[in-house]
Every structure is written in C-alpha cells, then in structure tokens.
C-alpha cells in the first residue's frame, strides 16, 4: 500500500505542475502579439494539456485505490474526506475548464484578458493548499 501512496503523491504532484503552468501559458497567449508566438504557445498548451490529462488519470485511480484500501468511509468523523472529495471534483472541473479555454484559444474566440488568466492561475494553488490541509490536519 505504501507504493500505491508513493505513486499517488508523485502523480498528484506532476498533475499539479501542469495545472500550475497551463494557465500561465494562457496569460502569455492572451498577450501574444504575433502569429508565430501564438502558434508556439498553442503547441505548448496542447502538449501540456494532453500530458497533464495522462497524469491526472492514475492520480485519481490511485487515490480511489487508497480510499478503498484503507477503508475510510464517508460516515461520521470523516467530514474531512467529504470535503477532500468535493475539492478533487472541483479540481477535475478546473481541468475541464482549462480544456475549454484551450479550445477557445485555438478557435481565436477567447474573451478574457491576461489579467483574468493571472487570477485563474491562482485557483489550483488554493485548492492544493486546502486539500493538503484536509489530508494532514483532518479538521473534522
């Protein structure tokens, strides 16, 4: 079970690296002035999104394995697990929203400024902090 936990942590950290960096590429895309820069950044964003999706799948699967393996239920005294699973769902939605914005950049229909994407880039940082605190502290 320790190997499963180790791999889960590695895949989570790797997935988060993508969640941290992809919106940063969006900031640069929103500021791109020429077609060459835009094409380069779009290529980077496509490859990163594909790679981080590949990393997210085993992160979630291994997390479910740990959940089932440790027998942590959703009953009384495990409110932290309810909250953690809800935040993981939010992370998966955020991941999907990243794809939505990638599609908009590809189509040239994005309506948000680089300032929006700077703020959008902070969301996974806050979610990682919240999930980590829930797992370590187990406040409820």
Angle formed by the axes of helices 123-137 and 2-31, nearest 10°: 160
User: Has 8 been labeled as part of a binding site?
Assistant: yes
SS3 letters across 51-95: HHHHHHHHHHHHHHHHHHHHCCCCCCCCHHHHHHHHHHHHHHHHH
Q: Write the CA distances from 73 to 32, 62, 76, 139, integer angstroms.
A: 48, 17, 8, 16
- Of 61, 55, 84, nearest to 4 by C-alpha is 61
Q: Is 112 annotated as a binding residue?
A: no
Q: Which residues are annotated as a binding site?
A: 8, 84
Binding site members for heme = 8, 84
């Amino acid at each position: 079970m320790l190997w499963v936990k180790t791999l889960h942590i590695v895949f989570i950290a790797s997935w988060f690296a993508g969640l941290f960096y992809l919106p940063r590429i969006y900031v640069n895309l929103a500021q791109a002035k020429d077609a060459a820069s835009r094409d380069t950044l779009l290529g980077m964003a496509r490859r990163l999104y594909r790679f981080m999706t590949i990393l997210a799948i085993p992160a979630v699967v291994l997390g479910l394995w740990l959940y089932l393996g440790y027998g942590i239920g959703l009953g009384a005294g495990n409110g932290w697990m309810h909250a953690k699973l809800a935040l993981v769902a939010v992370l998966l939605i955020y991941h999907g929203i990243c794809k939505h914005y990638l599609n908009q950049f590809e189509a040239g229909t994005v309506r948000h400024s680089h300032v929006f994407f700077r703020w959008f880039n902070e969301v996974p940082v806050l979610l990682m902090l919240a999930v980590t605190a829930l797992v370590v502290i187990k406040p409820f």
